[in-house]
Amino acid sequence: MFESSQAHHPLKLALASPGINRLCAAILTLLGCWAVAAILHEPVPRIHDEFGYVLLGDTLAHGRFANPSPPLPEFFDTFHVLVRPVYASKYFPAQGIFIAIGQKLTGHPAVGVWLSSALAVAATMWMLEVWIGPGWALLGGLLMFLQWGVYSYWSQTYWGGMPAALGGALAFGAARRLWDELSWKNSALLALGIVILVNSRPLEGFLALLPVTVFFISHVLREGLWRRRQFWSNLILPAMILLALGAFLTCSYNRAITGSPWKPPMLLHGEQYQEAPQFSFLPLGPKLSYSSPWVARLYEVDEMRLYQAKRDPRLLVTGLVTMFASWWQFYCGILLSVPLVLPGLLRRGGIRYLQAALLIALALLWFFADPGSVLLRGVFDLLVLGQIALLWVVFEGFWPRLAVGTTALVLLESLFVKWFFQHYFAPAACLVLYLEVEGLRRMWHWNPQPGAVRAQSPGARRAARSPQAQTPKPGESPALWPRKLVVALLVLCAVSLVWKVETRIHGFPQGNHDPDVLTLRLKDWSLQRAAFQQWLELRPSPQLVFVRYSPQHDINEEWVYNHADILHAQVIWARDLGVERNRGLIEQLPDRTVWLLEPEGQRAQLIPYARIDPRAPQTVPLKPVSPAGQDKLNW
């Protein structure tokens, strides 16, 4: 089945054994992540979600699933964090496990993120080896390294993406191998992939694995595999052991935070903070009260607006264009769109003209249409759906079409969620990469067949247009320009990676839809906060910082996040709730140097709290402090 895939590929001379290739790719990814951070800076949390994941990693690094609720928890109430009944992140634990590994082994949580990236690249290569062949799997690993592996928000922020991509690659790679041969090793890896998905992106993981599961069960019943002893000993038993262990640990994590093994922290957080549910087809929850106007603004105003937009057909249509654009830019971009659309242009018959028409229509709408027109945006959405349908036609074969159908199914979820980010799709990321590499393979093997036979029957015409018929036979000469284009695309992907880093170094402008627009910024409030944290950590006495925002404050710039062991941390960040209420917290935390921070403006300053409240302990000179080098982090 994979003979032509394995025998001819652009990296044939670079092939070692598949295991060596995967190991080298993982090491190269780890070193590449470190090199990018060395050129720019170590990742620091910026997005609300990142702080939540860092708290989760810190909690796990301390050897526990949750932390005791702090006294006067309203001072520490912040986004995506539970402060009652325990102090913990709301997120599923997979990303936090990697962060904890990096923190525990090296003292740098970012190393755990880089490790997840290295493992995801290696696992994706392992998946591609059976889906398309070892040579093309090596090419796929190189593309993943260049596109996401060393410089993307998946690999250089704490926001997540790589653990779910790792779980999806393990699951799809194992499922494909089990289709051909029942093996306890692949069964164990399938179960491991499922456990990772359940603890990173459970819903999207379920949608991604649903089609292959249905077809695999059908395959088992059709071939009568369930009657064989190997089915139970090599498939069911190993999978059930690992799944049971994973379920026990997941339920233990849930119980430590929510009190119920069946209730994940995400649901408890939704009950406490979110009036607007995650899915637009669900009804609003009860009216809630919030301890801070800033917390209320995110959950009661911003999320409510997104929820209502997804329930408004007009706003839904206009929002889908933005979603499709951001998804396309992250997973394909201009360069990796070529192997998805060129095979259609190389086909004979009406498919070639349909593909050309779709591309022209999409380009015209994107560059010249009125962005405020609901009708034109609706047409754009229909054209995108038409392109997906065309991929189904062009990429013939069971496994390519399974990849196309699964991609469409997981994308369908974006119609119903308030927020959509590219890492939501991560469980199916390996399938998009597979389709891109499959497109490159078809370009590499394309044969123009100048003397092609004019087929008379529809079946013969389809056979003449198939990729197998257009693959050069022994003694035939393939077209050279598609092969040169494949090599050029690889070179341009490498240039694109260098350009991304150069763009960040020199501060070149980036598009609003660029998914990495917030990655490793060199001038940003998050670096200021990290520098303040670093400076305060070096003070001889424990520190307490009250944060006071102006009415114009951007809620995306949140300073109030803390370590897992909050009461014993060197630095504690707290919300300013007024002089009288602040005194209660100061009394709860004696012997701390107390500051007030007003983070608005370019150079935030720490103001000794005794200037605000003369009754507060005066432990520092009464003058503001602005730590030097706020854009430079020592690590």
How do residues 203-241 score in pLDDT, each as one tens digit? 999 999 999 999 999 999 999 989 999 999 999 999 999
Contacts of 39 (CB under 8 A, 6+ apart): 501, 505
Q: Among 186, 185, 161, which residue's Cα sits nearest to residue 98?
A: 161
| Distance separating alpha carbons of residues 125 and 190, to the nearest angstrom | 15
Q: What is the CA radius of gyration of the chain?
A: 27
Between CA 333 and CA 438, with CA 336 as vertex, the angle to 5 degrees is: 150
* 3-class DSSP assignment, residue 370: coil
Euclidean distance between the first and final Cα of the chain, in Å? Answer: 50
pLDDT at 622 (0 to 100): 67
pLDDT at 574 (0 to 100): 97
Work out whether strand 571-575 and strand 593-598 pair parallel, antiparallel, or are unpaired. unpaired
pLDDT at 465 (0 to 100): 46
Angle, in degrees to the nearest 10, between helices 94-106 and 109-131: 130
Contacts of 51 (CB under 8 A, 6+ apart): 45, 78, 79, 80, 81, 158, 558, 561
φ, ψ of residue 574 in degrees (nearest 5): -140, 155
pLDDT at 499 (0 to 100): 94
What number of other Cβ atoms are within 10 A of residue 428's Cβ?
28
- Chain-centre distance of CA 614, in angstroms? 48
| Residue 57 · residue 99 · CB < 8 Å | yes
| Residue 111 · residue 99 · CB < 8 Å | no
pLDDT at 368 (0 to 100): 79
Work out whether strand 593-598 and strand 605-608 pair parallel, antiparallel, or are unpaired. antiparallel
Q: Among 100, 120, 121, which residue's Cα sits nearest to residue 111?
A: 100
Q: What is the pLDDT of residues 483-503, one digit of tens each?
A: 999 999 999 999 999 999 999
pLDDT at 14 (0 to 100): 59
What number of other Cβ atoms are within 10 A of residue 401's Cβ?
16
E strand or H helix at 358:
helix 350-368
Q: Among 332, 364, 359, 366, which residue's Cα sits nearest to residue 345?
A: 359
Dihedral angle, C-alpha 174, 177, 183, 188, nearest 10 °? 0
φ, ψ of residue 468 in degrees (nearest 5): -65, -40
Which residues of the chain are modeled with pLDDT < 70? Answer: 1-16, 449-478, 512, 601-602, 621-623, 628-635
